[in-house]
């Protein structure tokens, strides 16, 4: 069978690049296409001598490809899927040693579900995020609302009361309601209302009925909903893409509204948002966005949530919580903190599941906050540790590792 010669017009002329085929090799290629070897060599040399060389394409930079779930060295976070990596990796703000120490506390405590977040107060830099579960994967427990807020929500309610002009010295008398409330607890009854507290003692002692009665008297459901949104419920408040918004469903029915205001309602909170709430109080009413990368280009500017005056009142209430209130037992146990602390406890038992939630959000030192902590522990009836102790130990470790923070870390307006 006779071979067919390819017409000259079908030949593709190639410029020889560095490291490419030699003229002889190109000539042999042309010979395979039907040209005699001598003619092919002549064509190849002609092409090499006459045709202009195309511009050389530089090697692509390593950063041109998206980084997807790539393993990273400790302290350096990988880019999210679809995000082109920076020329230089962004340095994480996390203290890996501190994070490991707190994680060990959670494991030793055999907690069914638990999470701790530690922040620098004025910069929002995340120093540690620790998570643990004996019932499955723990990833993301700190950044999603895994537990009811319980009495931590009293901070939001008290803030709304202060904004409505309720004086911290206003007294409220009540009875019952230590672990659950009924409508009769909210009805004034001179024969039974033997416990009377000032408003500024209600938060330190976490008096449920007192908060509920003050809310019924001075607030409306719409007002409390609006106030909860300002404090970050219903939206994300950090620079972390993994954050899931905490939620506050405030009912309109009078009794259910009062329950929610006191911490018995359908309010779900993450440890990260708990730290944000404590940070607002610590930073004189300013929300500083939590972040886990140095630099802060992606961080929004601090936003005022409440007045500095009302934040000062809340800070004093939270200081009394640790000094004389519901946080005193945990924070007075040895080893003691080297500085004072302030915070708010929370506890709620689900009688259907048997799960018990405990909270502590706060800061240290109490009078000049530098560190923020939020701890949540969900236990069964058999438990080893609870949130107030865990928060105190986390602060103690952070203070031991870091000492006084540098003034340069202070970015929130005081």
In a domain, 61, yes or no: no
325 and 176 housed in the same domain: yes
In a domain, 73, yes or no: no
Computed over its alpha carbons, how large is the radius of gyration of the chain?
32
Instruction: Sort residue 45 into left (φ over 0), alpha (ψ -120 to 50) or beta.
Output: alpha
In a domain, 89, yes or no: no
Structure token pair of residue 206:
């976490």
Rounded Cα distance, 103 and 284, in Å: 30
Please return the burial class of 251, using the count of CB atoms within 10 Å of its CB with bins 0-12, 13-18 and 19+.
middle
10 Å Cβ neighbour count for 181?
19
Domain encompassing residue 38: 13-50
Structure token pair of residue 306:
């409440």
Rounded Cα distance, 279 and 286, in Å: 8
In a domain, 77, yes or no: no
183 and 317 housed in the same domain: yes
The confidence score (pLDDT) of residue 89 equals: 53
Average the pLDDT over each of 124-128, 176-180, 248-252, 402-406 and give the range with the smallest value: 402-406
115 and 223 housed in the same domain: yes
What is the value of pTM for the model shown?
0.77
46 and 161 housed in the same domain: no
Range list of β-strands (E), 145-298: 147-148, 171-174, 195-198, 247-249, 266-269, 286-287
29 and 162 housed in the same domain: no
In a domain, 139, yes or no: yes
The confidence score (pLDDT) of residue 179 equals: 86
319 and 401 housed in the same domain: yes
337 and 198 housed in the same domain: yes
215 and 339 housed in the same domain: yes
In a domain, 56, yes or no: no
Average the pLDDT over each of 46-60, 207-221, 388-402 and give the range with the smallest value: 46-60
Q: How does DSSP classify residue 197?
A: E
Percent of the chain with pLDDT over 70: 74
Residues 232-261, mean pLDDT to the nearest whole number: 97
The confidence score (pLDDT) of residue 255 equals: 97
26 and 128 housed in the same domain: no
- SS3 of the chain: helix, strand, coil, percent, to 5: 35, 15, 45
29 and 129 housed in the same domain: no
pLDDT band at residue 402 under the 50/70/90 scheme: confident
In a domain, 72, yes or no: no
- The overall average pLDDT reported for the chain is 82
The confidence score (pLDDT) of residue 352 equals: 87
Give tens-digit pLDDT for 373-393.
Answer: 999 999 998 899 999 999 999
Structure token pair of residue 357:
């939630």
162 and 46 housed in the same domain: no
pLDDT exceeds cutoff 60 at 77: no
Indicate which CATH number applies to the domain containing 142: 3.40.710.10
Rounded Cα distance, 331 and 218, in Å: 33
Range list of β-strands (E), 77-137: 113-120, 126-132
Kind plus residue range of the DSSP H or E element containing 388 = helix 387-402
Please return the burial class of 38, using the count of CB atoms within 10 Å of its CB with bins 0-12, 13-18 and 19+.
exposed
Residue with tokens 């071979």: 3
Query: Among candidates 295, 196, 212, which has minimal Cα distance to 255?
Result: 212
Rounded Cα distance, 239 and 291, in Å: 5
Residues 117, 128 contacting (CB under 8 angstroms): yes
Question: Sign of the C-alpha dihedral, residues 269, 300, 391, 202?
Answer: negative
Distances (CA, A) of 250 to 138, 165, 266: 29, 21, 7
pLDDT exceeds cutoff 90 at 410: no
> What's CA 185's distance to the chain center, in Å?
37
The confidence score (pLDDT) of residue 293 equals: 81
Residue with tokens 């007192």: 210
Rounded Cα distance, 276 and 278, in Å: 5
169 and 31 housed in the same domain: no
In a domain, 254, yes or no: yes
Give tens-digit pLDDT for 148-190.
Answer: 999 999 999 999 999 999 999 999 999 999 888 999 999 999 9
Can you give the length of the chain in residues? 414
Q: Are strands 247-249 and 171-174 parallel, antiparallel or unpaired?
A: unpaired
Q: Count structural domains, the chain.
A: 2
Query: Among candidates 156, 172, 143, 122, which has minimal Cα distance to 237?
Result: 143
Distances (CA, A) of 112 to 135, 146, 162: 6, 12, 37
């Amino acid at each position: 069978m006779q071979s067919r010669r390819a017409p000259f017009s079908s030949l593709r002329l190639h410029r020889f690049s560095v490291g490419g085929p030699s003229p002889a090799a190109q000539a042999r290629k042309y010979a395979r296409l039907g040209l005699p070897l001598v003619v092919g060599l002549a064509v190849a040399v002609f092409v090499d001598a006459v045709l202009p060389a195309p511009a050389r394409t530089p090697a692509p930079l390593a950063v041109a490809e998206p980084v997807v779930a790539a393993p990273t060295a400790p302290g350096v976070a990988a880019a999210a899927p679809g995000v082109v990596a920076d020329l230089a990796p962004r340095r994480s703000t996390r203290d890996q040693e501190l994070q490991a120490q707190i994680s060990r506390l959670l494991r030793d405590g055999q907690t069914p579900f638990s999470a701790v977040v530690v922040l620098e107060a004025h910069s929002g830099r995340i120093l540690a995020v620790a998570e643990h579960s004996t019932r499955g994967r723990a990833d993301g427990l700190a950044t999603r609302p895994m537990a009811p807020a319980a009495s931590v929500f009293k901070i939001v309610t008290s803030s709304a009361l202060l904004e409505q002009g309720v004086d911290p010295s206003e007294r409220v008398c009540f009875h019952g309601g230590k672990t659950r409330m009924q409508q009769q607890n909210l009805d004034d009854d001179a024969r039974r209302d033997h416990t009377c507290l000032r408003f500024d003692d209600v938060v330190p002692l976490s008096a449920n009925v007192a908060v509920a009665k003050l809310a019924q008297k001075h607030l409306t459901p719409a007002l409390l909903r609006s106030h909860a949104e300002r404090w970050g419920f219903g939206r994300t408040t950090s620079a972390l893409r993994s954050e899931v918004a905490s939620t506050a469903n405030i009912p309109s029915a009078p009794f259910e509204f009062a329950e929610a205001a006191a911490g018995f309602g359908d309010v779900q909170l993450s440890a990260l948002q708990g730290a944000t709430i404590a940070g607002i109080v610590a930073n004189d009413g300013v929300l500083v966005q939590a972040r886990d990368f140095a630099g802060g280009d992606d961080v929004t500017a601090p936003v005022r949530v409440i007045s500095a005056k009302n934040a000062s009142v809340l800070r004093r209430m939270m200081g009394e919580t640790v000094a004389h209130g519901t946080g005193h037992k945990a924070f007075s146990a040895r080893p003691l903190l080297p500085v004072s602390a302030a915070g708010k406890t929370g506890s709620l038992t689900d009688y259907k599941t048997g799960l018990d939630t405990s909270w502590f959000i706060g800061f240290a030192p109490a009078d000049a906050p530098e560190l923020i902590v939020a701890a949540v522990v969900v236990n069964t009836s058999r438990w080893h540790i609870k949130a107030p102790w865990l928060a105190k130990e986390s602060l103690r470790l952070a203070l031991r590792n870091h000492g006084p923070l540098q003034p340069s870390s202070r970015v929130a307006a005081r």
